[in-house]
Amino acid sequence: MARKVGLDRRQVIDAASALADAQGLESVTLARVAAALDVASPSLYSHVDGLPALRRALALEASTRLGTALRDALAGEEGAAALRATARAYREFARAHPGLYAGLHTTPGQGEDPEVYAAFAALVPDLAAMLAGLGIPDQDPVPLIRTLRSALHGFVSLEASGGFGLPQDVDASFETMVDVLLGGMLARR
């Protein structure tokens, strides 16, 4: 199948990302992405090998963008400020990119998809360094990273689904959660 002049893989992923963020990850179909790009659906096969490959590309895109956001937030921050910056950047990413964020919910094992696994695991050294900056002993950082991710994911998921109906300030609740996480992590020193 001939490629549309000027159409490339980056445009396909960007269109799918925009669609996911605007209408949800489940709304991403080849037909909808093709319509957004004003091409026929078969034209996309020159750039992605079907819907599963497009969803995989979105997971890689989400991982890359979240990684960039978290690394940017960590730049120049140390100790408690680094953890707070990480938490805020995570929340901001989930709010700004709800469809892409949904692509991060399942992390494949190394044997399932080595490339996606590596992209998701790429943040571990940065987060481990952040934890070390809190004075937490050099140990396996994965349990604490999972704790951080679980708390942040729970909060942003509840926030996105309208799960905070009480009138109290949601931002203050988020900061309280971060304080509790920080206190728990500091207690492990």
Between 43-52, 90-99, 109-118, 124-133, the lowest mean confidence (pLDDT) is in 109-118
pLDDT for position 2:
43
Tell me the residue type at 92. E
Over residues 72-82, the pLDDT tens digits come to 999 999 999 99
pLDDT of residue 3: 45
Instruction: Say what the pLDDT of residue 90 is.
Output: 97
In the chain, where are the structural domains located?
A: 1-48, 60-186
Note whether 128 and 141 are within 8 A (CB).
Answer: yes
Q: CB-based burial of residue 44 (10 Å sphere; 0-12 exposed, 13-18 middle, 19+ buried)?
A: buried
Residue 185 above 50 pLDDT? Answer: yes
Tell me: the pLDDT tens digits for 58-73?
999 999 999 999 999 9
Task: Grade residue 1 by pLDDT with cuts at 50, 70 and 90.
Answer: very low
Task: Spell 138-170 as b/e; 16+ CB within 10 A means b.
Answer: eeebeebbeebeebbeebbeebeeeeeeeeeee
Q: Quick check: do 1-48 and 60-186 share a fold?
A: no
Distance CA 81, CA 85 (A): 6
pLDDT category, 4, cuts 50, 70, 90? low
Longest dimension (CA), the chain: 60
The CATH H-level superfamily of 60-186 is Tetracycline Repressor, domain 2 (1.10.357.10)
pLDDT in tens, 11-58: 999 999 999 999 999 999 999 999 999 999 998 998 999 999 999 999
The mean pLDDT value of the chain amounts to 92
**Single pTM value for the model:** 0.90
- CATH number for 1-48 (one of 1.20.1250.20, 1.10.10.60, 1.20.1290.10, 3.40.50.80): it is 1.10.10.60
